[in-house]
């Protein structure tokens, strides 16, 4: 049977004290909403519907950036989770399968948990995700008879005895598409909050003589983000899991607690990561790569045997082939470095292609931007770029060519040629002493 996702992302999140919609606050380099979308996408849903409200255009843009096929609906007035789900009915018109309701501020639901809920649907008309809370607090409580769920009671409406129950509601629910929207239509807002609770569909199903069941997960999966403190806690939880998974996969982390991953970081077995490395989104480092201390990487690919850092920065579009060396205070952006190429010191390589075994001397800059357009630099295989060379793009340095230190290269350099583009040195005997004495005399006059 097909599945569809309905992700609720309409809340303002006033407790975040932010102009940014709550679901757009970043976790491991991606909006909270994207984490929820990724969890559900593992089930290969036929449709994904995101319900927006506060900051709807920005939320819709973020959702489409992640999945251009997502369907967006708007909850113009926030009247509860049941009302939010009802807004998705038209977007799922003609769909006949299971609907999974997720939340844009709950990033850690595992795909395996959702798969278990889909499996449980074979024996239940409605399936709710529950968890046993160490401190149930203000969570809704699941009222069970044996292994059957009778109803869900919100904390505000619960009796003292019901509040003693530790089996709590995560809010995640699965039901058939026709049934869930029919049950939502029957909801009442006669409760302490005056809202239409999605949780009340369980009571509605039971009144119809239908069955409701519960799948449980670890409490950590249900962590929702409503405050900055909870966001920080979620980041810490994500990083702890990512570090543990990397170690399990055969990656060496010399000081794991100092390494920070993005939601999509990919590291090959036997990669070695030194302390204080930050991975932004879109990084792959292959087996045997070494990322040295205090380096920052995003949107890049590091091949087998390459060494990056220390104190290096790889920006989006950086592509390092096997055995490339990128050293301290080198920045690479939208540039490829061929096998065995080296840029070991204090250089900027942007919008460029560097050939295999080329050597980039310290202080080299590809001058790629004219204030309006970006221009390309090509450096051939085995070329030697002397220290402090300015390569004014568009320009090509041929294979086996060499540039003299301190050169400004504005024209193409043929294969095997030496290019020297600097002013002739002129020495003025004795002038340095005369100039310094003149300056000292001027300072003395001012002090008097």
Classify the C-alpha dihedral 159-160-164-170 as positive or negative.
Answer: positive
Residue 296 among the catalytic residues: no
pTM recorded for the entire structure: 0.90
Cα 8 to Cα 249: distance, rounded to the nearest angstrom: 34
* Crossing angle (nearest 10°) for helices 111-120 and 32-41: 50
Of 197, 192, 135, the closest CA to residue 165 belongs to 135
Q: Cβ-count burial of 170 within 10 angstroms (0-12 exposed, 13-18 middle, 19+ buried)?
A: buried
Q: What is the DSSP letter of 158?
A: -
Query: How high is the pLDDT of residue 55?
Result: 86
Sequence-distant (6+) residues with CB within 8 A of 285 are 266, 267, 268, 271, 291, 297, 301, 302, 306
Q: What is the pLDDT along the chain (448 residues), one digit of tens a residue?
A: 899 999 999 987 889 999 999 999 999 999 999 999 999 999 999 999 999 998 889 999 999 999 999 999 999 888 999 999 999 999 999 999 999 999 999 999 999 999 999 999 999 999 999 999 988 888 999 999 999 999 999 888 899 999 999 999 999 999 999 999 999 999 998 887 888 989 899 999 999 999 999 999 999 999 999 999 999 999 999 999 999 999 999 999 999 999 999 999 999 999 999 999 999 999 999 999 999 999 999 999 999 999 999 999 999 999 999 999 999 999 999 999 999 999 999 999 999 999 999 999 999 999 999 999 999 999 999 999 999 999 999 999 999 999 999 999 999 999 999 999 998 889 999 999 999 999 999 999 998 8
Q: Are 206 and 212 in contact (CB under 8 A)?
A: yes
Query: How high is the pLDDT of residue 227?
Result: 95
Q: Are 291 and 308 in contact (CB under 8 A)?
A: yes
Cα 373 to Cα 350: distance, rounded to the nearest angstrom: 13
Sequence-distant (6+) residues with CB within 8 A of 313 are 295, 296, 297, 330, 331, 332
Cα 30 to Cα 38: distance, rounded to the nearest angstrom: 11
Report the half-sphere exposure of 10 (CA within 13 A, side-chain side).
24
Q: What is the DSSP letter of 92?
A: G
Of 325, 314, 373, the closest CA to residue 349 belongs to 314
What Cα–Cα distance (Å) separates residue 444 from each residue in 67, 153, 294?
Answer: 70, 85, 46
Query: How high is the pLDDT of residue 290?
Result: 98
* Helix or strand (DSSP H, E) at 350: strand 348-354
Q: Are 273 and 289 in contact (CB under 8 A)?
A: no
Q: What is the DSSP letter of 416?
A: T
Query: How high is the pLDDT of residue 322?
Result: 98
Q: Catalytic pick from 54, 132, 345, 376?
A: 345
Cα 68 to Cα 367: distance, rounded to the nearest angstrom: 35
- Sketch out the chain's domains with CATH numbers: 3-222 (3.90.550.10), 228-419 (2.160.10.10)
DSSP character string of 235-298 = HHHHHHHHHHHHHHTT-EESSGGG-B--TT-EE-TT-EE-SS-EE-SS-EE-TT-EE-TT-EE-
Q: What is the DSSP letter of 32?
A: H
Tell me the per-residue pLDDT of 98-141, one tens digit each, with 9 for 90 and over.
999 999 999 999 999 999 999 999 999 999 999 999 888 889 99
Query: How high is the pLDDT of residue 1?
Result: 81
Cα 324 to Cα 341: distance, rounded to the nearest angstrom: 5
């Amino acid at each position: 049977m097909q599945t569809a996702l309905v992700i609720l992302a309409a809340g303002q999140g006033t407790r975040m004290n932010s102009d940014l919609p709550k679901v757009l606050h970043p976790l491991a380099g991606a909006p909270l909403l994207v984490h929820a979308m990724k969890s559900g996408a593992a089930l290969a849903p036929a449709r994904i519907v995101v319900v927006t409200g506060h900051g709807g255009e920005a939320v819709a843009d973020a959702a489409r950036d992640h999945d251009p096929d997502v369907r967006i609906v708007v909850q113009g007035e926030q009247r509860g989770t049941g009302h939010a789900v009802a807004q998705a009915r038209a977007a799922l018109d003609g769909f006949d399968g299971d609907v999974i309701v997720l939340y844009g501020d709950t990033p850690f639901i595992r795909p395996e948990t959702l798969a278990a809920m889909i499996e449980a649907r074979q024996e239940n008309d409605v399936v709710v995700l529950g968890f046993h809370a160490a401190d149930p607090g203000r969570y809704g409580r699941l009222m069970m008879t044996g292994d059957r769920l009778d109803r869900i009671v919100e904390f505000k409406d619960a009796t003292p005895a019901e509040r003693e129950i530790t089996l709590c509601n995560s809010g995640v629910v699965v039901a058939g598409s026709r049934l869930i929207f029919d049950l939502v239509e029957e909801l009442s807002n006669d409760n302490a909050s005056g809202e239409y609770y999605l949780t009340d569909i369980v009571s509605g199903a039971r009144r119809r003589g239908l069955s409701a069941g519960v799948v449980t997960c670890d409490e950590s999966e249900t962590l929702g983000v409503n405050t900055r403190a909870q966001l920080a806690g979620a980041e810490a939880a994500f990083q702890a899991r990512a570090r543990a998974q990397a170690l399990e996969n055969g990656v060496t982390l010399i000081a794991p607690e100092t390494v920070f991953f993005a939601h999509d970081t990919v590291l090959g077995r036997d990669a070695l990561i030194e302390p204080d490395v930050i991975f932004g989104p879109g990084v792959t480092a292959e087996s045997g790569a070494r990322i040295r201390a205090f380096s920052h990487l995003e949107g890049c690919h590091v091949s087998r045997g390459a060494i990056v850092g220390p104190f290096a920065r790889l920006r989006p579009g950086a592509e390092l082939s096997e055995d490339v060396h990128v050293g301290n205070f080198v920045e690479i952006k939208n540039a490829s470095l061929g096998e065995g190429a080296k840029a070991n010191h204090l250089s900027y390589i942007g919008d460029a292609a560097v050939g295999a075994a080329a050597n980039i001397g310290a202080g080299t800059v590809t001058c790629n931007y004219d204030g309006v357009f970006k221009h390309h630099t090509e450096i051939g295989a085995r070329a030697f770029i002397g220290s402090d060379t300015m390569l004014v793009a568009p320009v090509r340095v041929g294979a086996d060519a060499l540039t003299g230190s301190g050169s400004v290269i504005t024209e193409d350099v043929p294969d095997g040629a030496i290019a020297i583009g600097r002013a002739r040195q002129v020495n003025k005997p004795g002038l340095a002493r005369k100039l310094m004495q003149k300056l000292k005399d001027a300072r003395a006059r001012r002090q008097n």
